[in-house]
């Protein structure tokens, strides 16, 4: 009996050929995506009360320290906003990036058992693990609102553009997360790179200070770090007046983010079929 | 009948590295290895690079077709490639050559409880695990009560599964899995878990599934289960299909092959053993009452299980404990004879010699059994421990002395009982 192989009902698995229906498959597995995110969120907020408290305390502590060091001791300019607000607005996307990167880059390894025992489009794993970071982001956003009320500081109307910059932050995190999670399966010591990126990145990104403190001639090179564009965007949209938008740098950030993301997807798709064999 | 799975010239190649046992590499090593190679090339251009990776075909030239409603048992020794086939069919890993065409929704169960999270409650894990196995939320909701019922965990639904006993854990995991309703069900060695009662229940559930006319591919080392669940068998050996026909023929052929294979291996040269090696088991025979070697056993007769050994210590070893264990096809230990049970520890001669474990009135029922030997010196030094030293069939015999040869094969151990009615 011959099987109608061009028919949609038939699944053809062939050596070396990647699937035609990759994106349809991702759609089909969307419920698994929800459930995995749901699991991560549940576990995160269930394990300890401290876990929840931690997601509030950490950004606030960082804000306090940065405000004292950069605002009070170094006396850097604060763009018309209270220094604490300046820092916290930048901490929102930064914390999101740091958490998302941490969760997603380890997601494949820490779910090794699932990878080697069931099929699903592997990309679901690192992406769904970023959702927890997104939830943390919204908690921090509420915190920001409280801080702004405390300082009696009203956000700019440009805040409507904030989701755009959040989207950019998601792209940066997803790009880095996908790339590192895939590399992690192959070269286990990549996991040591992530804490380094996060530690180091916090100091080289304009979290504790405004990008305007960077001398003009260095500004363009400084924007090679895609998080610079994201953070500047957050400040511009939330603080508003007095914050100038440095377009060339922003364009560089966007272009590099897209390149990172595309490279990550390509590498991920190229290696994902061998994850189960190596993990 | 429609073909639902067609496998053509399927092959799967793994790279095995000889340096380390892990499957992954560390970037650090890639860098150092790479530098070494470059240095080598500079020092001695054209010299062969040290090969650390080797290709290994876990599966090769496999062809078969599965029709709708087929119940196929896949059997073979450890490492024969059974799990690999299932992984290829369920798309967990990609073939290295050949192709597979599948029609219909496949659910594969390579393990029960994949993705269970210890911190989550039973209820939460049912949903999570269901989704992982490919059920939709509404489907899980619909079957929720049935699953809970089957698993017998009502009272613990809101307890984190990390507080479950291992039995409860397995029951819940299997309950979720067994409520899958795919067109094609693929199951790997998952019934071996849980207690006997639950295994029975799981097997019954599997039988229900196969009776519903679903297509089932079932991997197991449990031959009776394979025979009762499947109608067709595929025998794999070293990555090749060597037999594909009705299940009884395949099972018989597998068991015979296992026996002859093990007979071929010279005990003296086997390396899969433990112990200091001062004593080495080098031969094994079974002798009957007339001191003749026998090839199969009968229930109720007297046998001497003779273990030949070499004494590498070259001195007399006193107070040596010997254990001779008998296992059934499922690898369960059914009988265990040990010298210290009866204060019979042996003194072994400084030269080579034989140990006889004399068993009178052999209480084994029909079936295939294998043996292991464990020799310990002064209660702490393992001298030699070797498993599967031989396979042998018990067939017939008059254990109860009634003249009737109709002995059961669905139990393992026979014993006389006295019966009363009052
Ligand atoms: N990821 C891997 N990398 C390298 N070798 C592998 C990998 N997975 C399996 N193998 C090898 O492939 C062979 C077939 O393995 P497979 O798991 O299919 O055996 P099996 O028939 O299921 O055995 P068992 O009865 O023990 O479950 C084995 O020799 C195994 O060591
Ligand atoms: Mg297996």
Q: Is the pLDDT of residue A124 over 90?
A: yes
Phi-psi region of B113 (alpha: psi -120 to 50; beta: other; left: phi over 0): left
CB–CB of B95 and A14 under 8 A?
yes
Task: For residue B103, tell me if it sits in a domain.
Answer: yes
Q: Is the pLDDT of residue A117 over 60?
A: yes
On whether both B241 and B112 belong to a single domain, the answer is: yes
CB–CB of A187 and B6 under 8 A?
no
More confident: A266 or B46: A266
On whether both B254 and B276 belong to a single domain, the answer is: no
The verdict on A27 touching B (C-beta cutoff 8 Å) is: no
On whether both B296 and B253 belong to a single domain, the answer is: no
Best A39, A122, A194, A271 residue to mutate vs chain B (most B CBs within 10 Å): A39
Which of B204, B237, B260 lies at the terminal end of a domain, its last residue?
Answer: B260
Considering Cα of B11, then B260, then B222, then B384, what sign does the dihedral take?
negative
The verdict on A167 touching B (C-beta cutoff 8 Å) is: no
Asked if residues B172 and B178 have their Cβ atoms less than 8 Å apart, the reply is no
Task: For residue B297, tell me if it sits in a domain.
Answer: yes
Q: What percent of chain B has pLDDT over 90?
A: 41
pTM score of the predicted model:
0.76
Phi first, then psi: give them for residue B308, nearest 5 degrees.
Answer: -90, 140
Kindly report the number of other CB atoms within 10 A of residue A91's CB atom: 25
- Nearest chain B residue to A5 by CA: give it: B101
On whether both B305 and B378 belong to a single domain, the answer is: yes
On whether both B133 and B193 belong to a single domain, the answer is: yes
In this structure, chain A runs to a length of: 279
Among protein residues, the one with the nearest Cα to ligand 1's atom 18 is B81
Of A13, A38, A277, the CB nearest to B14: A277
- CATH of residue B237: 3.40.50.300
Least confident span in A30-39, A177-186, A249-258, B36-45: B36-45
Q: Which residues of B touch A31 (CB under 8 A)?
A: 131, 136-137
CB–CB of B96 and A5 under 8 A?
no
* CB B76 near ligand 1, within 6 Å: yes
| pLDDT for the residue numbered B401 | 78
| pLDDT for the residue numbered B20 | 45
Closest ligand 1 atom to the C-alpha of B219? 22
Looking at the DSSP assignment, which residues form a beta bridge with residue B370?
B327, B391
| pLDDT for the residue numbered A177 | 95
d(CA B79, ligand 2 centre) in Å: 7
In Å, how far is A177's CA from the nearest CA of chain B?
18
Closest ligand 1 atom to the C-alpha of B189? 27
Pick from B81, B95, B189, B218 the residue to mutate for probing ligand 1's pocket: most ligand atoms within 8 Å of its CB.
Answer: B81
Domain count within chain B: 2
Instruction: Please report the residues numbered 73 through 92 in chain B whose beta carbons come closer than 8 angstroms to any beta carbon of chain A.
Output: 87-88, 90-92
Among protein residues, the one with the nearest Cα to ligand 1's atom 2 is A277
Which of B210, B234, B260 lies at the terminal end of a domain, its last residue?
Answer: B260
CB–CB of B127 and A35 under 8 A?
yes
On whether both B70 and B215 belong to a single domain, the answer is: yes
Which of B218, B245, B260 lies at the terminal end of a domain, its last residue?
Answer: B260
Q: Is the pLDDT of residue A121 over 50?
A: yes
Q: What percent of chain A has pLDDT over 90?
A: 51
More confident: A119 or B223: A119
3-state SS string for chain A: CCCCCCCCCEEEEECCCCCCCHHHHHHHCHHHHHHHHHHHHHHHHHHCHHHHHHHHHHHHHHHHHHHHHHHHHCCCCCCCCCHHHHHHHHHHHHHHHHHHHHHHHHHHHHCHHHHHHCCCCCCHHHHHHCHHHHHHHHHHHHHHHHHHHHCCCCCCHHHHHHHHHHHHHHHHHHHHHHHHHHHHHHEHHHHHHHHHHHHHHHHHCCCCCCHHHCCHHHHHHHCCCHHHHHHHHHHHHHCCCCCCCCHHHHHHHHHHHHHHHHHHHHHHHHHHHHHHHHC
| pLDDT for the residue numbered B46 | 43
Q: What separation, in Å, do the N-terminal and C-terminal C-alpha atoms of chain A show?
A: 38
On whether both B292 and B389 belong to a single domain, the answer is: yes
On whether both B65 and B213 belong to a single domain, the answer is: yes
On whether both B197 and B274 belong to a single domain, the answer is: no
And the tokens for B291?
């001191």
The verdict on B30 touching A (C-beta cutoff 8 Å) is: yes
* CB B239 near ligand 1, within 6 Å: no
Range of the domain at B129: 57-260
Q: How far apart are the C-alpha atoms of A16 and A96, rounded to whole Å? A: 37
On whether both B310 and B289 belong to a single domain, the answer is: yes
Query: Which has the closest alpha carbon to B235: B259, B219, B214, B224?
Result: B219
Q: Over chain A, what is the mean pLDDT? A: 87
pLDDT digits (tens, 9 = 90+) for A162-210: 999 999 999 999 999 999 999 999 888 887 889 999 999 998 999 888 8
* Domain boundaries along the sequence of chain A: 16-278
pLDDT digits (tens, 9 = 90+) for B251-269: 888 877 766 666 666 888 8
On whether both B237 and B271 belong to a single domain, the answer is: no
Among protein residues, the one with the nearest Cα to ligand 1's atom 6 is B14
On whether both B276 and B384 belong to a single domain, the answer is: yes
- The low-confidence residues of chain B, meaning pLDDT below 50, are 19-21, 45-51
Element (H, E) at B394: strand B391-397
The answer to ipTM > 0.90 is no
- CATH of residue B311: 2.70.50.60
Kindly report the number of other CB atoms within 10 A of residue A72's CB atom: 10
| pLDDT for the residue numbered A211 | 84
The verdict on B158 touching A (C-beta cutoff 8 Å) is: no
Task: For residue B420, tell me if it sits in a domain.
Answer: no
Best B20, B21, B101 residue to mutate vs chain A (most A CBs within 10 Å): B101
Task: For residue B2, tell me if it sits in a domain.
Answer: no
CB–CB of A117 and B102 under 8 A?
no
């Amino acid at each position: 009996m011959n099987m109608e192989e061009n028919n949609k009902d038939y699944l053809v698995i062939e050596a070396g050929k990647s699937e035609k229906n990759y994106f349809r498959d991702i759609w089909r597995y969307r419920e698994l995506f929800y459930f995995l995110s749901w699991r991560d969120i549940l576990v995160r907020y269930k394990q300890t009360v401290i876990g929840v408290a931690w997601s509030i305390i950490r950004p606030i502590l960082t804000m306090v320290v940065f405000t004292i060091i950069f605002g009070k001791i170094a006396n850097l300019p604060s763009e018309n906003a209270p220094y604490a607000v300046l820092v916290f607005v930048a901490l929102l996307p930064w914390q999101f990036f740091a958490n998302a990167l941490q969760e997603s880059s380890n997601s494949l390894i820490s779910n090794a058992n699932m990878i080697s025992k069931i099929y699903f489009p592997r990309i679901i794993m690192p992406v769904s693990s970023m959702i927890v970071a997104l939830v943390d982001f919204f908690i921090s956003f509420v915190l920001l609102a409280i801080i702004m009320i405390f300082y009696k500081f009203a956000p700019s109307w440009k805040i409507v553009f904030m989701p755009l910059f959040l989207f950019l932050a998601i792209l940066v995190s997803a790009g880095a997360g996908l790339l590192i999670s895939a590399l992690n399966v192959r070269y286990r010591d990549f996991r040591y790179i992530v804490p380094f990126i996060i530690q180091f990145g916090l100091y080289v990104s304009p979290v504790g200070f405004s990008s305007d403190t960077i001398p003009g001639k260095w500004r363009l090179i400084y924007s090679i770090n895609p998080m610079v564009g994201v953070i500047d965007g957050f400040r511009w949209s939330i603080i508003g007046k007095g914050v100038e938008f440095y377009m060339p740098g922003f364009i560089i950030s966007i272009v590099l983010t897209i390149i990172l993301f595309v490279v990550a997807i390509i590498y991920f798709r190229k290696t994902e079929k061998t994850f189960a064999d190596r993990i | 009948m429609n073909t639902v799975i067609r496998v053509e010239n399927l092959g799967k190649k793994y790279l095995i590295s000889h340096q380390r046992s892990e499957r992954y590499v560390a970037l650090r090593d890639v860098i150092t290895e790479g530098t070494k190679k470059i240095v080598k090339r500079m020092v001695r251009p054209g010299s062969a690079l040290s090969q650390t990776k080797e290709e290994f075909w876990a599966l090769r030239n496999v062809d078969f077709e599965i029709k709708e409603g087929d119940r196929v048992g896949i059997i073979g020794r450890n490492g024969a490639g059974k799990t690999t086939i299932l992984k290829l069919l369920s798309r967990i890993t990609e073939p290295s050559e050949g192709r597979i065409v599948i029609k219909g929704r496949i659910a594969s169960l390579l393990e029960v409880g994949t993705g269970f999270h210890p911190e989550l409650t039973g209820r939460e894990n049912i949903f999570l695990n269901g989704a992982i196995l490919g059920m939709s939320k509404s489907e899980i909701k619909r079957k929720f009560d049935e699953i809970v019922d089957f698993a017998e965990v009502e009272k613990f639904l809101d307890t984190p599964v990390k507080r479950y006993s291992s039995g409860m854990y397995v029951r819940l995991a299997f309950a979720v899995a067994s409520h899958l309703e795919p067109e094609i069900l693929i199951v790997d060695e998952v019934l071996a878990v849980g207690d006997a009662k639950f295994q029975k229940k799981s097997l019954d559930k599997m039988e229900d599934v196969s009776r519903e006319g679903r297509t089932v591919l079932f991997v197991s080392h449990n031959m009776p289960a394979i025979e009762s669940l499947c109608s067709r068998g595929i025998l794999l050996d070293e990555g090749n299909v060597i037999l594909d026909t009705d299940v009884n023929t395949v099972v018989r052929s597998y068991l015979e092959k296992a026996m002859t294979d093990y007979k071929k291996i010279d005990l003296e040269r086997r390396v899969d053993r433990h112990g200091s090696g001062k004593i080495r088991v080098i031969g094994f025979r079974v002798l009957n009452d007339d001191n003749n070697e026998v090839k199969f056993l009968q229930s109720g007769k007297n046998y001497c299980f003779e273990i030949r050994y070499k004494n590498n210590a070259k001195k007399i070893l006193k107070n040596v404990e010997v254990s001779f264990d008998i296992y059934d096809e499922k690898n369960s230990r059914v009988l265990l004879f040990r010298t210290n049970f009866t204060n019979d520890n042996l003194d072994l001669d400084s030269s080579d010699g034989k140990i006889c474990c004399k068993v009178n009135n052999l209480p084994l029922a029909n079936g295939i059994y294998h043996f292991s030997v464990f020799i310990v010196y002064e209660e702490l030094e393992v001298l030699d421990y070797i498993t599967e030293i031989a396979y042998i069939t018990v067939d017939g015999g008059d254990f109860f002395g009634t003249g009737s040869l109709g002995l059961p094969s669905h139990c393992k151990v026979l014993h006389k009982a006295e019966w009363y009615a009052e």
